[in-house]
C-alpha cells in the first residue's frame, strides 16, 4: 500500500526536507502567490514578516506589524494550499508568554513552523546596518518558550541568528550551537557572505542550516548546486516573486497613465483562462 501523506503541516515540512535536498522554499506574500508556487512545483512556502508589512499594510519591515497581522495572512495562505508554510515570527512579539501565544496561534492557523531571531525587539531588516542583538541567553529563553508552547511536536522551531554581520562567523556559530542545545531544530544563518562561511556553518552545526537568498542584500545569489555543495539543507527565496510582481505592476500603471490603453501590455499578462484554471474556477462555477 502507498504511504499516507503526513497529517500535520509540520510533518509535511519535515517530509519535504527529507525528500528534496536542499529544500527550496518559495516566499509567498498572499494566497494567490501560494497557488502559483504550488503550480511551479515547490514543496514548501514561506511568509515573510517584511512581506506582511509591505503587502498587507504598506509599511516598512521595522517591527511595526503584530502577531495578528501575521496570523491573518498565514491563515489565508494555508486555507488556499496544503503546502507546508514556514512563518517569519520576528522576535516573537514580546515576553515568553507572548512567544507561547505566537506558537499556539500559528499552529491553529495551519503553519508548519516558525523562526525566531536574536535581534532586539526594535528589529530591522537583516541586510541593513545598525542591527542589535539580544544576548544568547535571552534568545535561548525565547526558544525555550516556543518549544514549551507546542501542542504539536512536529511544528518546526527554527532559530535565526543575525550575528554574522555584527559579531562575526565564530560568534554566530557559537550562538547557533547554543540555540541547538536549547532545542532549536534548524538554523537560519542570516547575511552570510561566502560559500566558505556556509560550509563552516554546516560543518559546525548539527541541525539543518537555511540559506536566505534574498536579492539586493549582503548574501550573493548563489546557485542551488553551490549551496548543496556547501552543505546547506534549506534555500529560501523570501521576496523574489513579490519584487518581480511589484516591478510589473509599476510598469503597468505607468503605461496606462502615459498611453491610456493596456493593448501593449497584454503579452505580459496572465490570461483569464490561466487565472480561472489556477483558481479551479470552472469546476466550482454554479
**Residues involved in catalysis:** 46, 61, 88, 90, 115, 117, 125, 160, 190, 212
Cell 514556514, located at residue: 86
Does 214 show up as a binding residue in the annotation?
yes
Does 272 show up as a binding residue in the annotation?
yes
Enter the C-alpha cell of residue 109: 492557523
- 8 Å CB contact between 235 and 220: no
Does 126 show up as a binding residue in the annotation?
yes
Does 90 show up as a binding residue in the annotation?
yes
Does 124 show up as a binding residue in the annotation?
no
Gap between the terminal Cα atoms of the chain: 37
Q: At 271, give phi and psi (nearest 5°).
A: -75, 165
- 8 Å CB contact between 110 and 144: no
Residue 207's contacts (CB-CB under 8 Å, 6 or more residues apart) are 180, 184, 185, 186, 187
Q: From 211, 232, 112, 101, select the one nearest 160 (Cα to Cα).
A: 211
Does 213 show up as a binding residue in the annotation?
yes
Q: For residues 270 and 268, what is the distance between their CA atoms, to the nearest angstrom?
A: 7
Residue 242's contacts (CB-CB under 8 Å, 6 or more residues apart) are 27, 29, 33, 48, 51, 54, 55
Does 243 show up as a binding residue in the annotation?
yes
Alpha helices, H only, 7-51: 9-19, 31-40, 49-51
Q: For residues 157 and 212, what is the distance between their CA atoms, to the nearest angstrom?
A: 17
Does 258 show up as a binding residue in the annotation?
no
Beta strands at 44-47 and 209-212: parallel, antiparallel or unpaired: unpaired
Q: For residues 94 and 102, what is the distance between their CA atoms, to the nearest angstrom?
A: 10
Binding-site residue numbers for Mg(2+) are 88, 90
Binding-site residue numbers for substrate are 125-126, 160, 190, 212-214, 243, 272
Binding-site residue numbers are 88, 90, 125-126, 160, 190, 212-214, 243, 272
Amino acid at each position: 500500500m502507498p504511504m499516507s501523506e503526513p497529517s500535520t503541516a509540520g510533518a509535511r515540512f519535515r517530509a519535504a526536507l527529507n525528500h528534496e535536498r536542499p529544500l527550496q522554499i518559495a516566499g509567498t506574500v498572499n494566497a494567490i502567490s501560494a497557488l502559483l508556487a504550488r503550480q511551479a512545483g515547490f514543496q514548501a512556502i514561506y511568509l515573510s514578516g517584511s512581506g506582511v508589512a509591505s503587502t498587507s499594510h504598506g509599511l516598512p519591515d521595522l517591527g511595526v506589524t503584530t502577531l495578528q497581522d501575521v496570523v491573518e495572512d498565514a491563515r489565508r495562505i494555508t486555507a488556499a494550499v496544503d503546502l507546508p508554510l514556514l512563518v517569519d515570527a520576528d522576535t516573537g512579539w514580546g515576553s515568553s508568554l507572548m512567544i507561547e501565544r505566537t506558537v499556539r496561534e500559528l499552529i491553529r492557523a495551519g503553519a508548519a513552523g516558525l523562526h525566531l531571531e536574536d535581534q532586539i525587539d526594535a528589529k530591522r531588516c537583516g541586510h541593513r546596518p545598525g542591527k542589535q542583538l539580544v544576548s544568547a541567553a535571552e534568545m535561548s529563553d525565547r526558544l525555550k518558550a516556543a518549544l514549551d508552547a507546542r501542542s504539536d511536536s512536529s511544528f518546526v522551531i527554527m532559530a535565526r541568528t543575525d550575528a554574522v554581520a555584527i559579531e562575526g562567523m565564530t560568534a554566530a556559530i557559537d550562538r547557533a550551537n547554543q540555540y541547538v542545545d536549547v532545542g532549536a531544530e534548524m538554523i537560519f544563518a542570516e547575511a552570510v557572505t561566502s560559500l566558505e562561511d556556509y560550509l563552516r556553518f554546516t560543518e559546525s552545526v548539527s541541525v539543518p542550516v537555511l540559506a536566505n537568498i534574498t536579492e539586493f542584500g549582503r548574501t550573493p545569489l548563489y546557485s542551488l548546486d553551490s549551496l548543496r555543495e556547501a552543505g546547506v539543507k534549506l534555500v529560501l527565496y523570501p521576496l523574489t516573486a513579490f519584487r518581480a510582481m511589484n516591478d510589473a505592476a509599476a510598469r503597468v500603471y505607468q503605461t496606462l497613465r502615459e498611453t491610456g490603453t493596456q493593448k501593449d501590455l497584454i503579452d505580459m499578462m496572465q490570461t483569464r483562462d490561466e487565472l480561472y484554471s489556477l483558481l479551479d474556477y470552472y469546476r466550482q462555477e454554479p
